[in-house]
């Protein structure tokens, strides 16, 4: 998931890429670490896990301190400049379903489309949620913003590559995977706070926290997806892409699902058995 917004560049000189685009806009403000605010927004998120705006607010409250240097390295690299030329705006590529369906069966593109269509999702829809969050915040149009947007726009692709679905545990595991790849206190906080909440209230003995830690390990072993050519990745056979990226099946996540189903619990509606008990 996108990390919303981050610390300002500290250099007194406005650095630019070879084409003249600012790397960091000089007006960017340094964000402050606000853990209590993050906790407040996490509690709001627990009330509605689909409320993406609360996720963005958590990331804003827990800014990543190494993201500036990492983004600078990438956007100024030859690879970063090439990708920016071929993929200036990922939602246009990801939402062109007609073009993606023309790619081979079994490709990452087909798996992505199947996932997005089954969930009723679009890349543009996530952008719209982010834009609502950003409505009263400035946009800078710098390369840092472009880099951050790639984290946002590849979030659902991570679900496809890892095999984590959009159930409550799957979302925690994807965020843990993201932390393994990219760091960021926001990813770590939501993944583990969400996992602890599940373990306390819904786990029924399933290895929830171990599954979250497994996601973090898998992400650490995988190259950063946001820094890859998504156009090239979509063309690859899904299993070959996973093998090349060292993404192995999330065994503990699958174990949690199996244990829940054996007890008559739907992993996609962990509250259901408790609702039925309350009704009885």
Q: List, for residues 84-131, the tens digit of each pLDDT value.
A: 999 999 999 999 999 999 999 999 999 999 999 999 999 999 999 999
Q: List, for residues 127-179, the tens digit of each pLDDT value.
A: 999 998 888 888 899 999 999 999 999 999 999 999 999 999 999 999 999 99
CB 31 within 8 A of CB 7: yes
Which pLDDT belongs to residue 12?
Answer: 42
Dihedral sign of CA atoms 142, 31, 125, 132 in order: negative
CB 185 within 8 A of CB 31: no
Rounded to an integer, what distance in angstroms lies between the CA atom of residue 129 and that of residue 146?
Answer: 17
Q: List, for residues 94-105, the tens digit of each pLDDT value.
A: 999 999 999 999
What tokens were used for 133? 């969050």
Which pLDDT belongs to residue 272?
Answer: 58
Would you list the domain boundaries of the chain?
Answer: 35-270
CB 260 within 8 A of CB 204: yes
pTM equals 0.88
């Amino acid at each position: 998931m996108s990390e919303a917004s981050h610390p300002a560049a500290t250099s007194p000189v406005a650095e630019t890429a070879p084409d003249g685009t600012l790397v960091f806009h000089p007006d960017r403000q340094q964000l402050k670490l606000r853990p209590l605010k993050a906790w407040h927004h996490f509690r709001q998120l627990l009330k509605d896990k689909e409320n993406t705006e609360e996720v963005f607010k958590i990331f804003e409250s827990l800014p990543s301190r190494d993201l500036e240097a990492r983004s600078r390295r990438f956007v100024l690299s030859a690879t970063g400049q090439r990708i920016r030329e071929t993929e200036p705006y990922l939602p246009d590529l990801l939402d062109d379903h007609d073009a993606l369906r023309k790619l081979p069966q079994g490709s990452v593109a087909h798996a992505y489309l199947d996932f997005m269509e089954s969930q009723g999702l679009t890349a543009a829809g996530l952008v719209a949620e982010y834009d609502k969050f950003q409505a009263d915040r400035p946009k800078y149009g710098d390369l840092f913003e472009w880099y951050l947007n790639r984290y946002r726009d590849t979030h659902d692709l991570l679900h496809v590559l890892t095999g984590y679905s959009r159930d409550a545990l799957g979302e925690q595991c994807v965020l843990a995977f993201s932390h393994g790849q990219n760091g960021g206190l926001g990813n770590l906080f939501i993944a583990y706070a969400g996992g602890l909440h599940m373990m306390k209230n819904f786990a029924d003995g399933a290895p929830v926290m171990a599954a979250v830690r497994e996601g973090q390990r898998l992400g650490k072993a995988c190259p950063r997806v946001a820094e890859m050519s998504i156009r090239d990745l979509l063309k690859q056979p899904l299993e070959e892409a996973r093998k090349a990226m060292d993404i192995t099946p999330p065994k503990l996540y699958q174990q949690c699902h199996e244990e829940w189903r054996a007890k008559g619990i739907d992993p996609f509606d962990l509250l259901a058995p408790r609702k039925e008990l309350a009704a009885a």
